[in-house]
Structure 1
Amino acid sequence: MAAILLLTDLPSRGRKLAGLLAVWGEPVMIDLLDPAEPTALPAPGDVVAVVSDASLSHSAQVAGLRRHLDRLGPNRPPFLCVMHADTPRSRAQAQALGADRTLRAQDVARSLARSLGHLFAGRKPLDAVGSTTLGAAAADGVLTRLFDLGRAGTAPDRGQVSLGAELVLGALDKTDVRTWLDVVWRFDDATHQHCLLVAGLAGGFARNLGLREDDCRILTQAALLHDLGKSRIPLSILNKPGRLDHDETAVMLTHPSIGYDMLVGGDYPDAMLAVVRSHHEALDGSGYPDNLRADRIPDLVRLVTVCDVFGALIERRPYKKALGGDEAYAILKGMAGKVDPDLVRAFQPLAELAGAATCSMAA
């Protein structure tokens, strides 16, 4: 089994980092200050990455890091150092230990995904589809944890959501929305597929609109989270192969408010909470759950709603065929009074890319 060796001097901090690493492999955390050496270490050939989460200013930690790195031999896997103190001594120690990359501790949730993605891709050259598949699979791993937490009634950690968004945006850096859609359509779980599809569309849309990078991240995170409330919808309804009846529809319509209630009071900005609660609102007040009208629907919600509607139209379901991009965009344009017409016009280049992807899927 692929393992990531996490070498720490503070297990309580290391456990949080282990949660972020789990999308790439099985984290094996070792306390460098524990005198009892673990008896069950992964075989060197099973270790796909090493992450240092320890102070590089003290000799005991540095000696422990070197011992574990030496055990992996000359073909050591990628090695990342989280820098808890950015001092000349720490930088020199990281270089002496052979770190492939250093990460600032305060940015680790944001930079971890791109750093590991670049390192893994560097060890094994990947084409655009291979690189996108790697990012999508890792993002799907993040979604699995988000929805597992949701089913347990626990709000997901913001760092996990940030990691998922970085994986999506990192994939879009190397390719385009068409390739992202081609890859995501291979996933079997309908809810995961939809969230990944909408996140890719949202990230691509934000880039096309020229939004600041921080705003692109917020938008992509919100898109990943938008259907979190479905984690509490019974699977018999969520995975029903046919159309829902009246009572089942009433249950399904609760998912925006459920998702909002799970996240409110946590480390989530109001703009993201608004997306989770209001992505099914309509400008004419006919949406749900609050029947908001245009003047009360924020721009970020409107952006995700366009991506959400378009994504639902081009997805294949047991009870409906997937529409082509042109046909889906025509329906979106025809939703006058419900979705923002300016955003729909701006979405057209992305719809054309998606149309090419749907044509290749049909072929």
Structure 2
Amino acid sequence: MRLPIGFSSEQVIIALAAAAEAKDAYTESHPQRVASTALHLGTRLGFQESDLIALYRGALIHDIGKIAVPDAILRKPGRLNAEEERQMRAHPSIGESIVKPLPSAADILPIIRHHHERFDGGGYPDGLAGHKIPLLARIVSVCDAYDALASDRPYRARRDPQEAIETLMRGAGQQWDRELVSLLLSELPAIRFEVAS
């Protein structure tokens, strides 16, 4: 006999986001900051409400696959070796597999799977390039990168704001969509205010 569990997909997504955040103390509040920043950019781009919801939900759990990555790798203070790198690079595919069974998750799966693709095709897991990378994933990618640069990590201290901006500018058109980098940088004063309040 199958009993109804009574959890909505939304409740499961919130629980998954909390689980991923609890696993890695260095990323505390990272999903919320990435989601808020992505939502801001989506709003500036004139997205419809359904796309804004998908963008926010996908950004909240973009790193859910890290649940399967050993703590020793997530918290390693130095460079990852080849095997550790392989395990870390598996997290987008694992995340997609975790979320795929949720009935309302179809619109966020591309975000989870493709947020580590690079605009020049050198990313993972599929090596997509340019506009073949779904737009919502490209947005989350640049928001994720900015927040990572502006936050402490096990392997490095946070970058000062100007250094983070310069890193994004150097990667525009290679690692990230140039137009989205420009939009993010132009909106930083408003984004910093929104995230702080």
What's 1:143 paired with?
A: 17
The 4+ residue runs of structure 1 with deviation greater than 4 A are: 145-148, 353-358
Please state whether the residue corresponding to 1:321 is helix, strand or coil. Answer: coil
TM-score, normalized by length of structure 2? 0.81
CA distance, structure 1, for counterparts of residue 102 and residue 115 of structure 2:
19
Structure 2 residue identity aligned to 1:346: L
CA shift, 1:354, in A, is 5.6
Equivalence for 1:300: 136
- Alpha-carbon distance, 1:276 to partner: 0.6
Deviations 1:237-280 (A, max 9, x none): 11223332232112111101111122224324544111111111
RMSD: 3.1
CA 315–353 in structure 1, closer or farther in 2 if over 3 Å, else same: farther
Q: One-letter code of the match for 1:204?
A: H
User: Residues of 2 paired with 1:311 and 1:319: CA distance?
Assistant: 15
Deviations along 1:55-110, one digit per CA (max 9) or x if unpaired, are xxxxxxxxxxxxxxxxxxxxxxxxxxxxxxxxxxxxxxxxxxxxxxxxxxxxxx9x
Partner Cα separation in structure 1 for residue 65 and residue 194 of structure 2: 29
Aligned CA distance change for structure 1 residues 146 and 337 (closer, same or farther; 3 Å): closer
In 2: Cα distance, 1:282 partner to 1:355 partner:
25
Which structure has the larger Rg over C-alpha atoms? 1
Distance in 2, matches of 1:145 and 1:311, equals 19
Distance 2:106 2:33 in 1: 23
Tell me how far 1:347 sits from its aligned partner: 1.2
Which deviations, in whole Å up to 9, do the C-alpha atoms of 1:1-20 show, x marking residues without a partner?
Answer: xxxxxxxxxx957x537x95
- Residue 345 of structure 1 corresponds to 182
Q: 1:203 aligns with which of 20, 31, 39?
A: 39
User: Are the structure 2 counterparts of residues 258 and 339 from structure 1 closer, same or farther at C-alpha, using a change threshold of 3 Å?
Assistant: same
Tell me the alpha carbon deviations over residues 315-360 of structure 1, each in whole angstroms, 9 at most, x when there is no partner: 11232121233321221121133211111111123323466799x9
Could you say what secondary structure the match of 2:187 adopts?
helix
Contact 1:314 1:325 (C-alpha < 8 Å) held by counterparts? yes
The equivalent position to 2:95 in structure 1, one of 221, 234, 259, is: 259
Residue 235 (structure 1) shift: 1.2
> Structure 1 residues 306, 239: closer, same or farther in 2, change over 3 A?
same
Q: Is the 8 A contact 1:326 1:355 kept in 2?
A: no
CA contact (8 A) 1:202 1:220 kept: yes
| Aligned positions of 1:197-346 closer than 5 A | 197-335=33-171, 336-346=173-183
Q: What letter is aligned with 1:333?
A: M
- Given that 1:283 and 1:294 are in contact with CA atoms closer than 8 Å, whether structure 2 keeps it comes out as yes
User: Does the CA contact (< 8 Å) of 2:40 and 2:191 recur in 1?
Assistant: no
Aligned partners of 2:62 and 2:97: how far apart in 1? Answer: 12
| 1:145, distance to aligned residue in structure 2 (A) | 4.5
Instruction: Report if the CA contact (8 A) 2:149-2:164 is conserved.
Output: yes
Rate the CA distance shift 1:204–1:287 in 2: closer, same or farther, 3 A.
Answer: same
- Alpha-carbon distance between aligned partners in 2 of 1:293 and 1:204, rounded to the nearest angstrom: 24
- Are the counterparts in 2 of residues 143 and 192 from structure 1 also a CA contact under 8 Å? no
Higher relative contact order (CA 8 A, sep 6+): 2
Change (3 A) 1:322 1:353: farther
Structure 1 unaligned residues grouped into runs of 5+: 1-10, 21-108, 110-138, 152-187
Change (3 A) 1:190 1:268: farther
Deviation string 1:182-233 (CA, Å, 9 cap, x unpaired) is xxxxxx8223432222112112222233322322111000101210100111
1:16 counterpart = 2:7: yes
Higher strand share: 1
